[in-house]
Amino acid sequence: MKLSRLLKQSAIRAGAMAIVKLIGLVGRVILTRLVGAEGIGLYQIAYSFYGLLLMISGGLPTALAIITAKKPWLGWHFFKWISLFLVLFGGLSSMIVFWNSPAISNILGNPGLGYALRSLAPAIFAAPLLGLLRGYLQGLERFNIIALSELTEQGSRIVFMLLIVGHLLSHGIHVAVGGGVLAAFIGVIVSFALLTIYVSADQRKNPIAPVAVSQLPFAWLLKASFVISLTRLLIPASDFIDAILIPGRLMAAGYDTSRATAMYGVITGMAAIMAYTPTLVTQALSHTVTMRLASCWQRKLWSEFRRLLALSLEVSWLWGLTAAIYIYVYARELSVFIFNTPEAAEPIQYLAALPVIVGFRELSTSVLWSQDIKKVSFYGLLTGIICSIVIQYVLIGIPGWGYIGATLGIIAMEIVASLWNLYALKIRLARIMKLLPSLALDAVILLASMLLVIIVSGHSGADSSRSLFGFLLETALFFSAAGVFLYIRFKGKLLAG
């Protein structure tokens, strides 16, 4: 196994995910200018509902990817049979949403969502099939075509969304946003067509022998996908709870509705976005390393498994620490230059540690899943969410503690979930203590790099007059210095194997 190939695959995934996020951000900015605050609110609610529905079957692609990585000859046969199930499930769900869109929009608290929900119905049918096909290709480690399909889907969705919204804007915001949501289906269809052509060509080159249905371990797959789906459902469910809990407790603390909504937007739409953005790297690493770990575990290559695990955790730690230092020091600049307001600076600093914590949670979850231990991450995340709800309910209601309470709840959720995974991995405390000097040295070197950049640039961290050019220059200097350190730190390991 070549670790350099793993890093190349992770880089491809990270790059594709970053571009997809960037395209989405640009589209959101333009859409906001077209439809205003009310329109973007309708859009967000509709997509939150869409995300929840997709996560019901969201464990199937990952379970298929894991079993394909372990037994590639089974993957294609599983894909064909599960596709039939998803056609029935997706079709039924799509029709239910389409015909009951008025009732669902009332339940969601906004009758104007009916048109958007009807427009989402086709995507509810098609998106699970696309996810399943990507899961199959993930198990085969075809990350290049997966990345291309994601870029194709996002690009198509944003282009058609803006075209449709611009065309329908004269008919009112509800109609324009509802029509724009139909672009989700267009993006899915374009991406699915691309992957279908690729898989068809691959099947002609490498035909797969038929397998009897009785030989397919459906029980394992359904059990694994159910647990994974439950785990992934927790985050969308948590987002819905936050949308209700945080503004409500802020109003209990004395803020009016407008101010409470604005503060909620700062926390979840600005600070959390900045803190979670660096985790794209660890998400990409987790996405690729899960398949390798599963393969090593299946073949009982324990030394390779431990080496890959150790390398992945080191990468996660160093990248997370680098991002955390940068976010904390430049919180004000990130708030002003990206969001055009200094108000997000304080909560951004509160959440600066998230890249380290989230990186460990994601990788440890991948390790547990590769060992067929899937319930642990679910219970850990569930416990974390419960702790977050309690903390936010108590602290946000205290006047002046709005931002502190909300961010502490987010951090508590991630810490509890990470510690739960740590316990399940049975990593001994003595082993962790042995690593502390090395981890502390990493922190000292990266902090010294940041201090050197600040001294060389002639600015202090509290200087509010820094120009955009100066900020970008300091960013480049810091990540260049950090990059040199990371290269030296991993030089021998990157070329291993």
- Please calculate the CA angle 232-238-243 and round it to the nearest 5 degrees: 140
Instruction: Give residue for tokens 């590639």.
Output: 72
Q: Any alpha helices (H) in 253-271, and if so which ranges? A: 257-266
Rg, Å, the chain Cα set: 23
Q: Residue 393: what pLDDT?
A: 92
Give the pLDDT confidence score for residue 95 in this predicted structure: 93
Cβ contact 113:47 at 8 Å: no
Predicted confidence (pLDDT) at residue 34 exceeds the cutoff of 70: yes
Q: Which of 136-140, 159-163, 299-303 is least confident? A: 299-303
* pLDDT at residue 15 tops 80: no
**Dist. CA 58–CA 138, nearest whole Å:** 14
Torsion, Cα 112 183 337 255, to 10 degrees, reads 20
Q: With cut-offs at 50, 70 and 90, classify the pLDDT of residue 3.
A: very low
pLDDT (0 to 100) of residue 460: 52
> Could you read off the pLDDT of 458-491 as tens digits, one per residue?
655 444 456 778 888 888 889 888 888 888 877 7
- Give the residue, 380 or 437, on which the prediction is more confident: 380
Write the CB contacts of 365 (distance below 8 Å, at least 6 apart in sequence). Answer: 231, 286, 377, 421
Among the listed residues 413, 439, 296, the one whose alpha carbon sits nearest the alpha carbon of residue 366: 296
Query: Mean pLDDT score of the chain, rounded to an integer?
Result: 79
Cα(61)–Cα(129) distance, rounded to whole angstroms?
Answer: 9
In angstroms, the CA 74 to CA 68 distance is: 6
Q: Measured between alpha carbons, how far is 339 from 133 in angstroms, rounded to an integer?
A: 36
Q: What is the pLDDT of residue 83?
A: 87
Is the per-residue pLDDT at 331 higher than 80?
yes
- Per residue in 161-199, pLDDT tens? 999 998 888 888 778 888 888 999 999 999 999 999 988
pTM of the model: 0.68
With H, G, I as helix, E, B as strand and everything else as coil, classify residue 142: coil
The whole-angstrom separation of Cα 73 and Cα 66 is: 12
CA of 110: how far to CAs of 53, 105, 106, 213, in Å?
18, 6, 6, 46
User: How many C-beta atoms lie closer than 10 Å to residue 68's C-beta?
Assistant: 24
138, 77 contact by CB (below 8 A): no
CA angle 396, 416, 430 (to 5 degrees): 140
Question: Which pLDDT tens digit goes with each residue over 63-77?
Answer: 788 778 777 777 777
In terms of Cα–Cα distance, which of 355, 390, 375 is closest to 420?
Answer: 375
Residues 342-357 have pLDDT tens digits of: 888 899 999 999 999 9
> How far, rounded to the nearest angstrom, does the alpha carbon of residue 497 sit from its chain's CA centroid?
30
Q: Is 80 exceeded by the pLDDT of residue 12?
A: no
Convert 370-395 to b/e letters by CB count within 10 Å (16 or more is b): bbeebebbbebbbebbebbbebbbeb
- Alpha helices, DSSP H, located in 340-461: 345-350, 354-370, 375-396, 402-425, 429-457
Q: DSSP states of 290-324 as a string?
A: HHHHHHHHHTT-HHHHHHHHHHHHHHHHHHHHHHH
| Spatial distance between the Cα atoms of 311 and 492, rounded to a whole number of angstroms | 11
Tokens of residue 377, six digits = 């991450």
CA distances from 219 to 72, 89, 165, 403, 441 (A): 18, 18, 45, 45, 48
